[in-house]
Amino acid sequence: MPGLDSTATHLRFFGSSACEVIVVDDDDDVRAHLVDLLESAGYRVRPVASGEDALRAVDQSPCSIVLCDWEMPGMDGLALCRSIRERQLVNYVYVVMLTVRASHDDVMLGLNAGADDFVVKGTPSAELLARLSVGRRIAGLEASLRAAIEESRRLAMTDGLTGARNEASSPAIRRPTDNRARSSAEGVPFTTKSSAPAFRPSITSSCEARTVSITT
């Protein structure tokens, strides 16, 4: 690929951790060059020749980044972006569009279709890898956030020391609607009224409570 020289193929991002990228291009030479470039930079690469194959690859197993050509026969890059965004995937997929288009209208069209970034064909290797490293960083942050949320849910359901189920997670507490449905079926009135006395705030204003008589 013109301009994608090999001067920066030795770059490594994020230490030794590998990030998986699906490379989508119908041109065999371009695809092979991109695979060599990304693998030399420490990425795990799954090359495919069409948008349809890329979509099947995304469905089969998670990936962090999709680097796809805009203009391809059949499903082009825009259609691929839209299809990825419509799916309920386990992780966010960062989509980088590889294209000869560089006008403002083309950029807006791609962003509205779901692309995260654009790389114009002919861009130096160092810039391409730098843009992909942004996608890797965002994918890593999203994965960390997702893991933290799952851990919070687990801790809310179990005791951190014993691993036993918390009382607050018991069905009687988590699903009060079950008690309401059971009461209705048995003809027994259902109430959520607490035995604690109701709190009735005083309507006396602070001004009335602090009235001071001034005489002259």
Domain ranges, ordered by start, for the chain: 20-152
In whole angstroms, give the CA distance from residue 26 to residue 92.
Answer: 24
Per-residue pLDDT tens for 84-133? 999 988 899 999 999 998 888 999 999 999 999 999 988 999 999 999 99
Q: What is residue 167's predicted lDDT score, i.e. its pLDDT? A: 62
In whole angstroms, give the CA distance from residue 31 to residue 68.
Answer: 10
Q: Is 29 helix (H, G, I), strand (E, B) or coil?
A: helix
Amino acid at 197: P
Beginning with the edge strand found earlier in the chain, give each strand of the sheet holding 20-24 in spatial order.
44-48, 20-24, 65-69, 94-99, 117-120
Q: What is residue 12's predicted lDDT score, i.e. its pLDDT? A: 34
Residue among 36, 94, 44, 88 at smallest CA distance from 65: 94
The counts of H helices and E strands in the chain are: 8, 5
List of residues 6+ apart from 73 with CB closer than 8 A: 26, 50
pLDDT mean across residues, the chain: 77
Q: What is residue 8's predicted lDDT score, i.e. its pLDDT? A: 34
Phi, psi at residue 74, to the nearest 5°?
75, -125
Domain 20-152: assigned CATH number: 3.40.50.2300
Q: What is residue 160's predicted lDDT score, i.e. its pLDDT? A: 62
pTM recorded for the entire structure: 0.65
Average of per-residue pLDDT across 168-179: 51
At residue 155, does pLDDT exceed 90?
no
Percent of the chain residues past pLDDT 90, beyond the cut: 48
